[in-house]
Structure 1
Amino acid sequence: MTLNKTIKIFISCHKPSRVIEDEVFTPIETGAVYHEKSLSQGILRDNTGDNISSKNPMYCELTAQYWAWKNVDADYYGFCHYRRYFNLTQNVFPEDSYGDILEPYLLDGTAGKYGISWKNVQPLLSEYDLLVSKRQDLRKLPGNYKTPQEQYAWAKYLHAEDYQLMLDIIDQHFPEYTNAARTYSEGHYSSFCNMFIMKKDMFVRYCSWLFAVLDIFCRERDMSGYSREALRTPGHLAERLLNIFIIHLQEENRNIRIKELQTVYLQNTDWVETLCPAFDHNNIPVVFAADDNYIPYFSACLQSVIDHSSPQNNYDLVLISKNISRVNQDILRGMTAGYDHISLRFYNPMPLLGGYRLHANAHITEETYYRFLIQEILPHSDKVLYLDCDLIVNSDIAKLFTTDVSGYMLAATLDPDFLGQIGGADLNTQEYVQTKLQLKNPANYFQAGVILFNEEEMRKSHSIQEWLGYAETPYRYNDQDVLNLYCEGRVKFLDMSWNLITDMEFKRFSNVISYASATVQNQYERAHQNPAIIHYAGCIKPWNRPEDDLARYFWKELRKTPYYETVLANLCRNGAKHKSSSGKITEVVNQIFPVSTKRRAWLDRVYMKLHR
């Protein structure tokens, strides 16, 4: 029975991290002697009391085990990591090739999913003497090895002779463990990660033996020339020593009750942070969203914002990206360096998106939904400008930001392409609006590439959970349809020059927009003459078609960025790839659908529909 027993399960942390919060799970900072400040307020630190915190570069999480052994009195001791926990439920979850349950992020529901709580630990300890990570059959893991000793020799950066020295130390100083060491080393199974929960007497016995073995090893092995990873050898050996200790216990008592548990590996445990304004006054928050592959094209957009900025305003730029590389972050920061009135920050949105199924299509990616997260990412900003990355700013966006959106949820421009579709260019869109969207006034459908959000009203209307829930419905135009549907009647319309979608392939106006009302056509033509923001909406982009409508503005900005050669090389590669086939295709199309015929006009409309 574990009733009224003290259970302490320590979560080893060496950097700021989100951890499971429960009464028996206690985070402890490892290697604290090397940190000027504690990782978080009130966290236990392994450099107090009797400790070996200074050995953390070699001993890894063992400095937390040593600290608990010497400084904590409990009935049960357990250890896990900030990224690894036990699956404490009766459910068996799929594993990766190394035997881990993979979870991309630590989310609010993670602890519940895997039963990581005191109420699930207590019954297990009532039934078992020892909880440990599930043994893995080494013959089934990636790599050409069959035994633990072979696996250690195969491991990158480690030295095979260190494993042998461990065995020699056991033979010479702890011969009662020799048989267990040989059984383990010549077998095919191993538990990893130094994770366990055991009774006090067992824990004290284990630590007394473990640290004695490692102390002798460190005295006999000169590691002064070891790499950073090889210096962690004592920690690596401890994983093997735990297995040897367990086998020894089983040799002493065949009735010992051991429960093997699956290990949950959390790939990202960063805190879900919110962003305060970058500037104390005159702060203009501007949000973009892109994945790492899109950064070269986004750089032109960023450069255009810089070029048309004013030192009298402060531009708080935030790029939401799930995977932007450090290299690209550094390059983009370099572009804004020297501009005291411009700040550029990056935000990983994935912890906020767990569990949602967001639909994408050929040229609309998951990133398009990130605008729904702005109200939580920037909780101190009640007005935020959102810009798509496939556009060029041709005027100071501070002018747009001054727009009064009081009483509205957002400000945006009409979408002349969509209005042309429902005006007769695409009968299917007419039906879609009537049967699926069911807008009260489809003539007010707006384009979502440039939006000035009234985030105060957005928060009042719906939580991000509600917005993402709406986005799970597979609408034709994804988040744009969601915003039009749930913001209808509360939109302030901007002059179309603030989001001028280009005349893609010089056909969008003649084949689609010409079906919209005369008022919309006139707005489009005026905006096209003097666009404040040029938006390359659709599948045809200026980096693929430099000769397309207004593409010259993109290339003008791109030439000033560090990515010009990269985009140019991509254009050359793609051009060479398609050149051989495009001529033949054009020849066949011209024969079947001759230019300047009704048949060709119909084909052009179909083409525009498919590539919109």
Structure 2
Amino acid sequence: MTVPIFYSISDDFTRYAVVSLHSLVKHANPQTDYTIYFLNQDLSNQHQADLSALGSNNVHVKFFHIDDELVKPIQNRKENFLRADFFTMSIFYRLFIPELFPQYDKTVYIDSDTIVNDDIAKLYDTELGNHLFAACTDSSIQYVAKMVKYIKDVLALDPKKYINSGMLVMNAKAFREEGFIDHFMDLLEHYHFDCIAPDQDYLNEIGEGRILHLNPRWDAIPNENTEPLANPGLIHYNLFFKPWHFRNVQYEQYFWENTQETKFYDELKAELDHYTDQERANDREKLNHMLLKEDKTEKGPNNWANVKQREQVAL
């Protein structure tokens, strides 16, 4: 038996993915077999080699090219923009994992801006039962009033149950048997929901009532309002809290400890040193720009809250 772990990645994010994979391999149980897949559309040969080099006897690194035809219905529209300012197809790749890998009944997905600080097989061992997937409540938005209002009034969900999609334990068998991807595509093409967090909103809505909420240590997200968790199992540098762009980010020590052990340390240190205060201000402003959607979407006739009064959205 192997533990299947998935990342979705674009070529410009490889350096951070190398650090994440390094941390995962470092904490892997030598008695357990792992297969790590990088879902991609544009990964260079050099970057594939950089990632492959981190494999070991029991950690197998593989690459899977996402076919353009598969994701063609997900178009470069404003409602699919990440953080309201740009489009990246890679955020949607995770939704297709169960269909693309029918050999697995359960899988783990993690974002590339993560550090694994414990054996990831512990996540895979999560007993899902009839849940569609397991994840952690999105702690990064609990103190953002506009986002909380969006979740309540536009998504018609409980903000305390709204999960972050940067770590998922997926019931791949249920995804396939219950037609998750067909349902997702139908909603996407029919309503073009204007989302603040596109893939994440769809997962929260389609999975409503069938999400297993895990201990927050498995998706520890930096924020400026709470004390750090003492023993994070997985750290997720969500939104603009990137230690390679900002100093004094919560949990940054885990990132730099692992980065020092990779070939990209000097490069990433230079990236931090050369990132300007203006660029940091722009990053923070992107969050505010993203939240401007709330006013517009709350009044939209086809927002999630209104559509859910007319038809079943959750599986």
* TM-score after normalising by structure 1: 0.43
In structure 2, do the counterparts of structure 1 residues 486 and 385 end up closer, same or farther at CA, with 3 Å as the change threshold?
Answer: same
Q: Is the CA contact 1:363–1:538 (under 8 Å) kept in the aligned structure 2? A: no
Deviations 1:435-479 (A, max 9, x none): 42123x443111111110001111223342432443442211111
- Give per-residue Cα distances to partners, 1:76-104, cap 9 Å, x unaligned: xxxxxxxxxxxxxxxxxxxxxxxxxxxxx
- Is the Cα contact below 8 Å between 1:314 and 1:342 reproduced in 2? yes
Greater RCO (Cα-Cα under 8 Å, separation 6 or more): 2
**Partner SS, residue 528 of structure 1:** coil
For the aligned residue pairs, the C-alpha RMSD in angstroms reads: 2.5
Post-superposition CA distance 1:537-596 (Å, at most 9, x none):
11230111243211121111112222223223333333xxx25x689x9xxxxxxxxxxx
Q: CA deviation at 1:489?
A: 0.5
Q: 1:493 aligns with which of 213, 216, 221?
A: 213
Q: Which amino acid aligns with 1:561?
A: T
Residue in structure 2 matching 1:354, options 72, 79, 85 = 72
Quote how far apart the aligned CAs of 1:430 are.
Answer: 4.6
2:303 matched residue in structure 1: none
- 1:175-212 per-residue CA deviation (whole Å, 9 max, x = no partner) reads xxxxxxxxxxxxxxxxxxxxxxxxxxxxxxxxxxxxxx
Q: Does residue 1:419 correspond to 2:136, yes or no? A: no
In structure 2, do the counterparts of structure 1 residues 565 and 382 end up closer, same or farther at CA, with 3 Å as the change threshold?
A: same
Q: How far is 1:607 from its partner?
A: 8.7
How far apart in 2 are the matches of 1:461 and 1:374? 14
Residue of structure 2 in register with 1:313 after alignment: 32
- Secondary structure of the residue aligned to 1:492 is strand
1:497-516 alpha-carbon deviations (Å, 9 max, x no partner): 0111012xxx243xxxxxxx
CA distance in structure 1 between the aligned counterparts of 2:30 and 2:251, rounded to whole angstroms: 28
The answer (yes or no) to whether the contact 2:133–2:169 under 8 Å persists in 1 is yes
Distance 1:434 1:414 in 2: 15
Structure 2 spans left out of the alignment, 5+ residues: 292-315
Distance 1:539 1:363 in 2: 14
CA gap of 1:546–1:306, structure 2 versus 1, over 3 A, is: farther
Cα 1:363–1:397, aligned 2, differ >3 Å: closer, same or farther? Answer: farther
Aligned to 1:330: 49
3-state DSSP of counterpart to 1:480: helix
Q: Distance in 2 between matches of 1:355 and 1:314?
A: 36
Q: Does 1:436 align with 2:154?
A: yes
1:534 maps onto 2:228 in alignment:
no
Seen in structure 2, the aligned counterparts of structure 1 residues 607 and 344 have a Cα distance that, compared at 3 Å, is closer
Q: Distance in 2 between matches of 1:343 and 1:444?
A: 34
Tell me the SS of whatever aligns to 2:7.
strand
Q: Please give the residue correspondences for 1:370-385 in structure 2 after superposition, counting only pairs within 5 Å.
A: 370-385=93-108
Structure 2 CA distance for partners of 1:554 and 1:485, relative to 1, 3 Å: same
Distance 1:469 1:551, change over 3 A: farther
TM-aligned CA distance change 1:307 to 1:464, over 3 Å: same
Distance 1:394 1:435, change over 3 A: same
Q: How far apart are the structure 1 equivalents of 2:135 and 2:263?
A: 32
> Residue type of the partner of 2:258?
E
Q: Structure 1 489/556 Cα, relative in aligned 2: closer, same or farther at 3 Å? A: same
1:544 aligns with 2:228: no
Matched, 1:558 2:279: no
Shift of 1:378: 0.9
SS in structure 2 at match of 1:438: coil
- Equivalent residues of 1:538, 1:611 under 8 A apart: no
Aligned to 1:141: none
Contact 1:305 1:397 in 2 (8 A): yes
**1:354 Cα deviation after fit:** 1.8
- Shift of the 582–289 alpha-carbon distance from structure 1 to 2, 3 Å rule, reads closer
CA-to-partner distance for each residue in 1:254-304, whole Å, 9 max, x for gaps? xxxxxxxxxxxxxxxxxxxxxxxxxxx2x1000001100000111110000
C-alpha distance 363-540 of structure 1, shift in aligned 2 (>3 A): farther
Aligned length: 280
Question: In 2 relative to 1, CA 610–529 (structure 1 residues): closer, same or farther, beyond 3 Å?
Answer: farther
Whether the 8 Å contact between 2:175 and 2:181 is mirrored in structure 1 is: no
Question: Given residue 458 of structure 1, which amino acid in structure 2 is its aligned partner?
Answer: F
Distance 1:400 1:434, change over 3 A: closer
Q: Structure 1 residue aligned with 2:11, among 273, 288, 292?
A: 292
CA–CA distance in 2 between the matches of 1:477 and 1:470?
15
Report deviation, 1:432: 2.6
TM-score, with normalisation over the residues of structure 2? 0.81
What does 1:222-233 align with in structure 2 at a 5 Å threshold? none
Distance (Å, rounded) in 2 between the aligned partners of 1:363 and 1:309:
35
> Is 1:462 aligned with 2:179?
yes
* Alpha-carbon distance between aligned partners in 1 of 2:263 and 2:254, rounded to the nearest angstrom: 17
Contact 1:372 1:468 in 2 (8 A): no
How far, CA to CA, are the matches of 1:431 and 1:383 in structure 2?
33
Contact 2:7/2:37, CA 8 A, preserved across alignment? yes
Q: Is the 8 A contact 1:317 1:344 kept in 2?
A: yes
Does structure 1 residue 407 correspond to structure 2 residue 117? no
- The CA distance in 1 between the partners of 2:72 and 2:286, in whole Å, is 36
